[in-house]
Amino acid sequence: MRTALIACKTLEKEISHILGQEPAKIDVILYVPSGLHNTTSRLQEAVREQMRLLEGKGIERLLLCFGLCGNVVEGLVTGDYETVMPKADDCITLLLGSAERRRELDKTKRGYFLTEGWLQGEANLHKEYKDAVEMYGQEMADAIYREIFQGYEYLTLIDTGRPDYRAFVEKGKKIAEDFGLKPLSVKGEQSWLRDYLLQDIEDLQKQDKVVIYPPHSKMRFQDFIPSEEEK
């Protein structure tokens, strides 16, 4: 089956790491800039443009590798191929392995999650913080960001299994200090993302971890809302 992957650039390092170790058969890989998450219309148009690039390429299955950030799925129309997408609210849930793990961490160690992919994105909260320091001065910037992170105790740094995680932790410690948070390292869980890239789609469907659309279907946000039993 000729397969394409369109993914958020936030996940590029994790995807490359897994594909470098596993025999996944993906013929075309395209990325969408992570900085578009704050503007739904721009994010959707970027995904549509990547989908248009697949026309006439004989693609039989498209793997969309996003969470529901920016309500990206609502109204997207699939092409001449089956389209699959993880049933995850955002990339953090996908990298932690389950919504249950995400909820447990939110309850027991309330933190703002950070991955290296987010840190290297075109727009991230730490870059915005440094811009605020330049514009308003250190004292005012600190006051603004202490208010933003009110209710958080930790900056939660997800270990996604990459060999350069230690260097990322050192960066994370400095960022946590700037935001008035405690750095907290947690182990990610790669099985969901790995199984997705290896296209164990039937298994993931049985676990209710993916939504599958036939060709020429309209995607809907409500298809990703968990049932009452899952909440």
Distances (CA, A) of 33 to 27, 38, 70: 20, 11, 13
What's the CA gap between 44 and 42, in Å, rounded?
A: 6
The label of the residue with tokens 């219309």 reads: 41
Torsion of CA 119, 122, 127, 129, to 10 degrees: -100
pLDDT of residue 82: 95
pLDDT of residue 104: 93
- The residue among 163, 69, 154 whose CA lies nearest residue 113 is 154
pTM assigned to the model: 0.87
94 vs 125, higher pLDDT: 94
159-170 residue pLDDT tens: 988 778 888 899
59-95 residue pLDDT tens: 999 999 988 876 778 888 999 999 999 999 888 999 9
Greatest CA separation found in the chain?
Answer: 57
pLDDT of residue 123: 65
173 vs 39, higher pLDDT: 173
Distances (CA, A) of 136 to 66, 127, 142, 144, 148: 35, 14, 10, 10, 16
pLDDT of residue 23: 80
- CB neighbours (10 Å) of residue 106? 12
